[in-house]
Amino acid sequence: MSLLYLHFANSDRDARAQKLARSGAHILVSEPRWPGFFELAKKEKPYAIAVDFSSAPSHALETADYLAKAKETREAAIYLLRVPADRLDVVAKRLPNAAIVTEQELSERLVGIEKQAQERAREKKEAAAAARKSARARAAGGEKAPAAAAAASKTKPAMRLVKSPVVKPPAGKKPPAKAARKPALAARPHAAKPPAKKKSPPRKAGAGKKAVKKSRGLARKR
């Protein structure tokens, strides 16, 4: 984590940067000249940017305004140092989210920010260590399971098929006869047929004609 400190080179810049460094923060010093300061900000990705207005305040305002709106640096906190009294209103309108502070105030804020950053880094480190430990435990458990299965298979006795002995009957005796088959089901009785009618004996040929002639003869006699 670092602070980008933008200040034009003069006799006071190095001493001011050293005061800020006492807070424990890593201070990156550069001039607010395009495109050097922006390339450095994209590369280092500082968590805060401090712009000093002691030299060329108009140029410092344009620099701070650009950094506050750029996609790569708009998430960083903006601090403004030594803003002239006649520029306070303009700065407040153009940079409502920037903080106008003194060197002492900025140093105190850097101390708090640095502690928070260290706490977050510690939490991330502990979380990563716990994840690695859990992964090693899972890997060790996966290796032990096949080994235990292999050991169990070695100690377990193999099963053998044993044929039952065939019992032979004593000499001179016949083996018992097989059980007789079950009798077939009785046939279903059919219904009794009615008695056939007796046929009348066939008549002899010419018997009818003789009867007719006989009846005619009797009629004539009368």
Domain spans, the chain:
2-115
**190-201 pLDDT per residue, tens:** 555 555 555 555
- What pLDDT does 190 receive? 53
Check whether 211 has a pLDDT greater than 60.
no
> Could you please report the per-residue DSSP string of 10-36?
STTHHHHHHHHHTTTPEEEEE-S-TTH
Q: What is the CATH number of domain 2-115?
A: 3.40.50.2300
Q: What letter would DSSP give residue 46?
A: -
pLDDT, averaged across the chain = 80
Query: What pTM value is reported for the model?
Result: 0.56
Instruction: Look at residues 75, 108, 21 and name the one whose alpha carbon lies nearest to residue 2.
Output: 21
Give the burial class of 166: count Cβ atoms within 10 A of its Cβ; 0-12 exposed, 13-18 middle, 19 or more buried: exposed
- What pLDDT does 119 receive? 84
What contacts 44, CB < 8 A, 6 or more positions away? Answer: 2, 4, 28
Sorting pLDDT into bands at 50, 70 and 90, what band is 50?
very high
